[in-house]
Amino acid sequence: MKAKFIILQVVCLSSAALADFQCDSAVNYVWKNKGGKHESFWKTVTATAADEAGTKAALDDAVSFEKGLAIAKCRKDHENLSGCIAQRYQSIGSTYESMGFKARKTLDEAIINDCQKKQGYCLEPKASNPICKDLSPAPAETEGEGGGDDEKDSKKDKKKKKK
């Protein structure tokens, strides 16, 4: 079992080593209720590939997929009053049964009021402009480029240390 894990780890590391570009984009969804429009963060999507065009293409695919998930989450949270109420009661569990009548009534009102404030309708998923960066290592200086600057710098450092 350990051998399989190590092999998978090597494969993952080698594919990451081939990636020279990385692009990120934030996915949000916009919904509206009586209070106006609201924009809610969903997820930051990241894609990597060997070249910038490939990275942007992979990011576009991932963003499209996440937009679908974001709008589904929006509908679940903001267009489903009965689902919101049911979820709240489910999270309370057996505690509700042990409460007195007044406490139950207060809790019922609070749950309904809270869920009604979250109700509205979903408008659209949105994605920010991609932010891309080059992950390839900076080219190392050759000996001919730097010249004797290193020797001069080390001599200056030695003089400063003597003082």
pLDDT in tens, 89-124: 999 988 998 999 999 999 999 999 999 999 999 999
Record the tokens describing residue 15, joined without a space.
Answer: 């594919």
Tell me: do 30 and 105 sit in the same domain. Answer: no
Q: Which of 43, 35, 107 is nearest to 78 (CA)?
A: 35
Question: With 50 as the cut, is the pLDDT of residue 57 above it?
Answer: yes
Domain total for the chain?
Answer: 2
Tell me: do 88 and 69 sit in the same domain. Answer: no
- The per-residue pLDDT for 135 is 86
Question: With 50 as the cut, is the pLDDT of residue 15 above it?
Answer: no
Question: With 50 as the cut, is the pLDDT of residue 3 above it?
Answer: no
Tell me: do 29 and 108 sit in the same domain. Answer: no
The reply to whether 58 falls in a domain is yes
pTM: 0.66
Q: What is the dihedral of CA 76, 39, 33, 81, to 10 degrees?
A: 20
Spatial CB neighbours of 114, under 8 Å, sequence gap ≥ 6: 88
Tell me which residue range forms the domain holding 110: 81-119
User: What is the enclosing helix (H) or strand (E) of 50?
Assistant: none
Output the average pLDDT for the chain: 82
Tell me: do 35 and 47 sit in the same domain. Answer: yes
